[in-house]
Structure 1
Amino acid sequence: MRFSNKSLLVFTLCMPGLVSSPAVQAETPSDTANTAQDAANLDARIDRMADRGIEFLRTRGQSDNGAFSGATGAAVTGLCVRAILEHRPAALQADPVVKDALKYVESMVRPDGGIYEIGSKHRNYETSTSVLALIAANEANDETASGGAGKYDSILSRAEAFLKDIQWDEGEGLTPADPAYGGAGYGSHSRPDLSNTSFMLDALHELGNDAEDESIQKALRFVARTQNLPAADDMQAVNDTKYADRVGDGGFYYTPAAGGQSQAGEAGAGGLRSYGSMTYAGLKSMIYAGLTPEDPRVEAALDFIRKNYALDTNPGMGPQGLYYYYHTFAKSLDVAGIEVIDVEGGTVHDWRADLVNQLESSQQDDGSWVNRQSDRWMEGDRQLVTAYCLLALAHAKK
């Protein structure tokens, strides 16, 4: 769900200088021609990187059973399939690598509707990423007129029910007053967190659940409690935990559940420090839940983004989770319909061009990407990190 052009105009008026869109700017014919040429050049660079990244996954990333990083169950395989099909939908029919990967994902389908390795402690993560892969496969069947449209509908319908069932809510004995309410965790009995909730919302949104869906509105309660923002009287879903006003910068942290935690550590006065990847995940999740540009929660998140715009670091985390950050950065700004960001100090950033420059400079000779500074959260795994980058690049295309 993108913001409409009208919303973008409101967005710009609400926060002067934050974003702009070609839809709300007067352009001369020469400006329009230059803009189109710039976009074409950027897309060509993205295609070149994507070709190399996909070739790495095709020739060096896959196991004999069709899995990518099979120790993660279906999780990384789902991300890799989605990443390939985002750029090359025809690969569904033409490339045995994609076919074998999809067969592996199908082999992970369980009687409860989840898609995960037996004994997995990451059932939500595996199922959510697999859902995204299977939706892309259905869409690729449509685009290539292969006659297989809707092939995975039954699996997807059961996976949707599974994800809604494992969401932390009344089924786990919670009430809306509980900080864990509405969230999703990895899928074991651990606490919910914003990262997993964001993946679940990606899956539910693409499965056709709109902002009024009960599970998405439950998730909004959880997401709001991960934002460093004091409650306002006119907000229905707010951070009503003890952390709400201890930082107050509008950014997001990892979880309010089980006492609260930020992967970036604590701030002064016992607050939980905001950081980049979770702030973009929070912004995207609020958009899925129907919040508009003028909503104070969205405004606060965007203010944090203006003040902490960066692509050489995951703000608040340094190199840790850097490539996951690129994925959430690109997807969130694309979903929001944001074209440029005017950071503090007046510099206007075309985030797509900045991202392409960054990923061009860090692509390895073999076509992969890897986090050489920190392997936290599996970012030493080339299959996972290459999938993150290909997904980010897909959102950077005009």
Structure 2
Amino acid sequence: MPRLIVLLCVLILSASCFSPRNTFAQESETATKPTIIDRQKLIDQAALRGIAFLKNRGQAPDGSFSSETGVAVTALCVRAMLEHQPKSVDTPAIQKALKFIETKMQGDGGIYNNGSLYRNYETSVAVGALIKANKDGRFSSALKRSEAFLKEIQWDEGEGIETSDTAFGGSGYGKHKRPDLSNTAFTVEALKELGNDADDESIQKALKFVLRAQNLEGQGNDTEHAKKVGDGGFYYTPAAGGSSQAGQDDGGGLRSYGSMTYAGLKSMIYAGLTADDPRVQAAMTFIQKNYSLEDNPGMGKAGLYYYYHTFAKAFDAAKVEVLDDSEGNPHPWRDELTLHLISQQQSDGAWVNQGSDRWMEGDRQLVTAYALLALIHCR
């Protein structure tokens, strides 16, 4: 979209969108959603352009949108397109992509490339695509098998570990790969979408792992890192001694960063924690201090669109409408994120991380899917 139109939208929004709000996650009868002029129209226009890019320039002859990560990017693209255009499930582009995904269905119930090191990740995101495409129950049987697969590869008693093990409850890229918060968050989301409620045994096991990745003492993190940083944010994994993609502070603490904090918040909400829970409140304190659309806090431009995608899902799950940051500035995040993403859309309709290609964010199909999925939660 031309910059002039974006700037005009900003002026319209600044005059219209600040209305009474709930600053976080506490639903109330008095909470009022911010007013927005034409947000829906702006999202629809951006989505049409993004989907046109995927269909016309992003899809390979075999139906995939990127085969470098097996089924994962294809599944994310299918999910993104169907979220915006549910009735497009029978179109040639979607049908070709679904046939590609079907070729990756394995005998153990997983959906992944043969020999893949990313079995949990591929299966979790494939589940999301197949749920959206499950017209007339076509994929119901495959989805049940995938649910069993995801639960089976979760790190728990089946792997011979006790609840005291820092890997317990987590999910990693494969059965023998150290679990991490990113994979665990994808698994929790997939299990929720498959119909498991917050009390599901696997989701509650995952919650134990999630809480060990939070920089918060005395609230589930029983590792040596619990009190070293203490800012309520989340890091990559507590397993195998713990690590953070944002590195360590001078005292050896594992630094919190944005994308994992939103992944942690979303997972806690899905596991039944509420706004008044001290662990949720601590995560929100970190978010209020580090609210940003310019960077993935703690990581700069690395993983920026993964961050936007997780940011939007987490706020939506937590029922946040307007966030007051630590300086008291109100942020109607749906409005702000919509305008920011539109301003970053390329002339051909795609999105790409121009600041960092880490974690495949130089892949235009993947990043376009992330942006489209984020925009769904801005509606």
For the aligned pair, the TM-score class normalised by the smaller chain equals: over 0.9
Q: Give the one of 69, 72, 76 matched to 1:72.
A: 69
SS in 1 for 2:47: helix
Contact 1:21 1:339 (8 Å CA) reproduced: no
Give the Cα–Cα distance (whole angstroms) in 2 for the partners of residues 240 and 365 of structure 1: 49
Name the counterpart of 2:5: none
Is this contact kept in 1: 2:25–2:275, CA < 8 A? no
Note if contact 1:18-1:306 (Cα within 8 Å) is conserved in structure 2: no
What whole-Å deviation, never above 9, does each CA across 1:265-307 have from its counterpart, x for those lacking one? 0013110000000000000000111111111100100111111
Alpha-carbon shift at residue 43 of structure 1 (Å): 1.0
The 2-side partners of 1:230 and 1:131 are apart by 35
| Kept after mapping to 2: 8 A contact 1:286/1:298 | yes
Amino acid paired to 2:195: G
- 1:159-193 deviation per Cα after TM superposition (whole angstroms, max 9, x unaligned): 00000000011111110000000000011522000
Offset at residue 121 of structure 1 (A): 0.4
Per-residue deviation at 1:76?
0.5
Equivalent of 1:183, from 170, 176, 183?
Answer: 170
Q: Establish whether residue 279 from structure 1 lines up as the match of residue 261 from structure 2.
A: yes
Residue in structure 2 matched with residue 145 of structure 1 by the alignment: none
Q: Distance in 2 between matches of 1:381 and 1:184?
A: 25
1:183–1:201 CA distance, 2 compared to 1 (3 A): same
Could you report, residue by residue, the CA deviation over 1:125-154 in whole angstroms, capped at 9, with x for unpaired residues? Answer: 01001000000112xx3xxxxxxx211100
Which ranges in structure 1 are unaligned for 5 or more consecutive residues?
A: 1-15, 142-148, 233-237
Which residue matches 2:81? Answer: 84
Which residue of 181, 184, 187 corresponds with 1:200?
187
> Out of 93, 118, 125, which is 1:129 matched to?
125
Confirm or deny: 8 A CA contact 2:204 2:271 kept in the other structure: yes
Tell me how far 1:26 sits from its aligned partner.
7.1
Shift of 1:205: 0.3
1:110 aligns with 2:97: no
Q: CA shift at 1:24, angstroms?
A: 3.8
- Taking a change above 3 Å as real, the CA distance of residues 378 and 24 of structure 1, as seen in their structure-2 partners, is same
Match of 2:52 among 55, 58, 77: 55
Residue 326 of structure 1: aligned partner: 308
SS at match of 1:164: helix
For 2:216, the aligned partner's letter is L
* Paired residues of 2:112 and 2:119 also in contact (CA < 8 A): yes
Quote the Cα distance in structure 2 between the aligned partners of 1:122 and 1:268.
Answer: 33
Residue from 365, 375, 378 that aligns with 1:393: 375
8 Å contact 2:22–2:320 — kept in the other structure? no
TM-score of the aligned structures, taking structure 1 as reference length: 0.88
Q: Determine if the alignment matches structure 1 residue 168 to structure 2 residue 155.
A: yes
Q: Which of residues 336, 343, 348 is equivalent to 1:354?
A: 336
Cα distance in structure 2, aligned partners of 1:194 and 1:231: 19
1:226 aligns to what? 213
Stretches (4+) displaced over 6 A = none
Q: What SS does the corresponding residue of 1:269 show, helix, strand or coil?
A: coil
Contact 1:20-1:341 within 8 A present in 2 as well? no
The equivalent residue for 2:350 is 368
Number of matched pairs: 359
CA–CA separation in structure 2 for the residues paired with 1:150 and 1:318: 43
Q: Is residue 163 of structure 2 the alignment partner of residue 158 of structure 1?
A: no
8 Å CA contact 2:147–2:191 kept in 1: the answer is: yes
SS of residue matched to 2:235: coil
Tell me which amino acid in the other structure corresponds to 2:104: M
Q: Counterpart of 1:104 in structure 2: which amino acid?
A: F
Give 2:294's aligned residue: 312
- % identity of equivalent residues: 61
Q: In 2, are the aligned partners of 1:92 and 1:99 still within 8 Å (CA)?
A: yes
Aligned to 1:288: 270
State which of 218, 237, 241 in structure 2 corresponds to 1:255: 237
2:360: which partner in 1? 378
Contact 1:18 1:343 in 2 (8 A): no
Query: Which residue among 33, 39, 42 is the counterpart of 1:42?
Result: 39
In structure 2, distance between residues paired with 1:302 and 1:344: 10
Offset, 1:357 = 1.4
Contact 2:229 2:255 in 1 (8 A): yes
2: CA distance between counterparts of 1:162 and 1:69?
A: 24
Q: Residue 4 of structure 2 aligns with which residue?
A: none
Query: Do 2:71 and 2:112's aligned partners in 1 also have CA atoms closer than 8 Å?
Result: yes
Give the superposed CA RMSD.
1.6
Is the 2:22–2:31 Cα contact (8 Å) retained in structure 1? Answer: no
TM-score, normalising length: structure 2 = 0.92
2: CA distance, partners of 1:373 / 1:169: 38
Return the alpha-carbon distance in structure 1 between the equivalents of residues 252 and 223 of structure 2: 12
CA–CA distance in structure 2, aligned partners of residues 228 and 368 of structure 1: 36
> For 1:81-124, what per-residue CA distance to the aligned partner results, in whole angstroms no more than 9, with x for missing partners?
0000000011102x200010011111100000000010100000
SS of the aligned residue for 1:306 comes to: helix
